[in-house]
Amino acid sequence: MATKHEQILDYIETLAVGEKISVRRIAKELQVSEGTAYRAIKEAENKRLVSTIERVGTIRIERKKKENIERLTYAEIVKVVDGQVLGGRAGLHKSLNKFVIGAMQLEDMMRYTEAGNLLIVGNRYKAHEYALQAGAAVLVTGGFDASDQVKKLADELELPVISTSYDTFTVATMINRAIYDQLIKKEILLIEDILIPLENTHFLHIKDPVSRYNELNNETTHGGFPVVDSNGRLVGIVTSRDVIGAADGETIDKVMTKDPITVSLQTSVAAAGHRMIWEGIDLLPITDDHHNLMGIISRQDVLKAIQTAQRQPQQGETIDDIIKSQLTLVQEDKLSLEFRVTPQMTNAYGSLSYGAYTMVLTEAATVALKTKNRKDSVLENITVYFLKPVQLDASLTIRPAILDISRKSAKVDVEVLYEQQVIGKSMLTFQLLDR
């Protein structure tokens, strides 16, 4: 039987997109405490089922698929620009596909404004009205208000009119930044992207005999399986090591490993892979907040996902990407790289920041490991010596050298030079992923 928490989430999913939700309403309609209702609404927000907007409240939104994440809703725009909704609240859940800057003559402005757009403009009341009639929402900059007629029209058409105190240029920059950040998020592989779903997952029940494990093992050659109770909650995991010497009639709950390590759907693939290497496990169950089994991933799934992601074109650029782009291989036989310090990598004093410096060392060591055909590795430990400050636009020489490498780990020494003088050194230890 579903818990009250699960019942509330199921109820929220049945609500129409754009409908308002409150703790008091949920508590009254489902006869639960306000504390239980509040926790469930917060989880619904994490699952992107609802969105809470200041001065508006919590509304049911359309769950966006990850491939369309670069398309923002008007509700998200309100958050980005710290805006106030003047009218058309019922349309906050809708997505915008383009924004138009209203810095031209009215006729020209309307030529570029279409349904699903967001017109960013100051106190030009005719432009507000024409944009709504064209099917576009309006963002009024400079803290200006809209006319009562425009507010009424916005409510009728369910198209938001939003006011913000920022100027037009700042608003456009903020929205661009929000879209850019979401493009970066889109590229981060999560467990939900590679999950083997429950209907395709082989698992055992606690009262199954060991002979059932042997049957599944012969059938699938997976080696390990999650174990669930009668309610579908994960209680253990069983592998070939657990069943050695066990009689066929012995029940799984007597031989399984209890309280296995688990991850959620929103865990990144990189974090899950690191955990599997660190703990020395080949199978990782995925559970929800109530410990219900949702699926599994294997070490092979993680490796394949990481290798596939490395081949994909990058749309968003992180600080790490910027740093990697400045590393250039200049000598292969006696490995040597060049690196230029750009403004994004500096601290308040105009010298190379400690974080950027650490990333340079890590990436240089990774390049060295790739020369030994070790394409996938996870940094385990780093010892850094920062001997002299490095100024903006400085061109550094990086010399990584592998000191020791085995099947599972490697030690790399990295030397950093500026104008032929050593200005930093580092020792890095990596865990190597089995190919």
pLDDT in tens, 243-274: 888 888 899 989 998 888 898 888 888 778 77
14: tokens are: 């049945």
| Whether the model pTM is above 0.75 | no
pLDDT in tens, 160-187: 999 999 888 788 778 777 766 665 555 5
Q: Please indicate whether residue 414 or residue 291 has the higher confidence score (pLDDT).
A: 414
Query: What CATH number did the domain enclosing 172 receive?
Result: 3.40.1390.20
Q: Please indicate whether residue 169 or residue 414 has the higher confidence score (pLDDT).
A: 414
Confirm whether 396 is domain-assigned: yes
Q: How many CB atoms lie within 10 A of CB 407?
A: 7
State whether 180 and 202 are in the same domain.
no
Closest by Cα among 113, 122, 104, 123 to 171 = 122
State whether 32 and 119 are in the same domain.
no
Between 45-59, 134-148, 330-344, 409-423, the lowest mean confidence (pLDDT) is in: 45-59
Confirm whether 66 is domain-assigned: no
Confirm whether 68 is domain-assigned: no
Amino acid identity of residue 393, one-letter, is D
10: tokens are: 């199921």
- Looking at residue 232, the DSSP 8-state letter turns out to be S
Confirm whether 31 is domain-assigned: yes
Strands (E), 89-143: 98-101, 117-121, 137-140
Amino acid identity of residue 416, one-letter, is V
Question: What pLDDT is attached to residue 133?
Answer: 92
Strands (E), 67-202: 84-87, 98-101, 117-121, 137-140, 161-163, 196-197
Between 123-137, 179-193, 358-372, 404-418, the lowest mean confidence (pLDDT) is in: 179-193
Closest by Cα among 57, 83, 56 to 178 = 83
Question: What pLDDT is attached to residue 299?
Answer: 78
Domain with 31 in it: 4-60
Confirm whether 313 is domain-assigned: no
Query: What CATH number did the domain enclosing 295 receive?
Result: 3.10.580.10
How many independent structural domains does the chain possess?
4
Dist. CA 277–CA 294, nearest whole Å: 22
pLDDT in tens, 279-334: 778 888 999 878 889 888 887 777 777 665 554 444 445 677 777 778 888 877 78
Dist. CA 321–CA 335, nearest whole Å: 21
Assess contact for 364 and 302: CB atoms under 8 A: no
With cut-offs at 50, 70 and 90, classify the pLDDT of residue 351: confident
Between 55-64, 120-129, 137-146, 212-221, the lowest mean confidence (pLDDT) is in: 55-64
% of the chain with per-residue pLDDT over 90: 23
State whether 340 and 420 are in the same domain.
yes
Amino acid identity of residue 261, one-letter, is I
* Element containing residue 23 per DSSP (H, E): helix 23-30
**Single residue among 187, 220, 245 that ends a domain in this structure:** 187
pLDDT in tens, 191-233: 887 887 888 888 999 999 999 998 888 887 777 899 999 888 9
State whether 78 and 98 are in the same domain.
yes
Amino acid identity of residue 107, one-letter, is E
28: tokens are: 């009254």
Question: What pLDDT is attached to residue 98?
Answer: 79
Residue 31 has pLDDT above 60, yes or no: yes
Between 61-70, 345-354, 357-366, the lowest mean confidence (pLDDT) is in: 61-70
Residues whose CB falls within 8 Å of the CB of residue 61, separated by 6 or more in sequence, listed in order: 17, 18, 48, 49, 50, 51, 73, 75, 92, 93
What is the dihedral angle through the alpha carbons of 74, 79, 82, 86, rounded to the nearest 10 degrees? 40
State whether 286 and 208 are in the same domain.
yes
With cut-offs at 50, 70 and 90, classify the pLDDT of residue 70: very low
pLDDT mean over 132-144: 92
Query: What CATH number did the domain enclosing 30 receive?
Result: 1.10.10.10
**Single residue among 34, 60, 86 that ends a domain in this structure:** 60
Question: What pLDDT is attached to residue 396?
Answer: 92
State whether 197 and 303 are in the same domain.
yes
State whether 297 and 217 are in the same domain.
yes
Question: What pLDDT is attached to residue 289?
Answer: 79
Confirm whether 65 is domain-assigned: no
Amino acid identity of residue 283, one-letter, is L
State whether 299 and 330 are in the same domain.
no
State whether 302 and 347 are in the same domain.
no
State whether 336 and 418 are in the same domain.
yes
Confirm whether 220 is domain-assigned: yes
Residue 394 has pLDDT above 60, yes or no: yes
State whether 143 and 160 are in the same domain.
yes
Mean pLDDT (the chain) is: 83
Assess contact for 351 and 390: CB atoms under 8 A: yes
Residues whose CB falls within 8 Å of the CB of residue 421, separated by 6 or more in sequence, listed in order: 388
State whether 384 and 397 are in the same domain.
yes
Write down the H helix ranges in 280-420. Answer: 299-310, 319-325, 354-370
With cut-offs at 50, 70 and 90, classify the pLDDT of residue 401: very high
Dist. CA 311–CA 308, nearest whole Å: 5
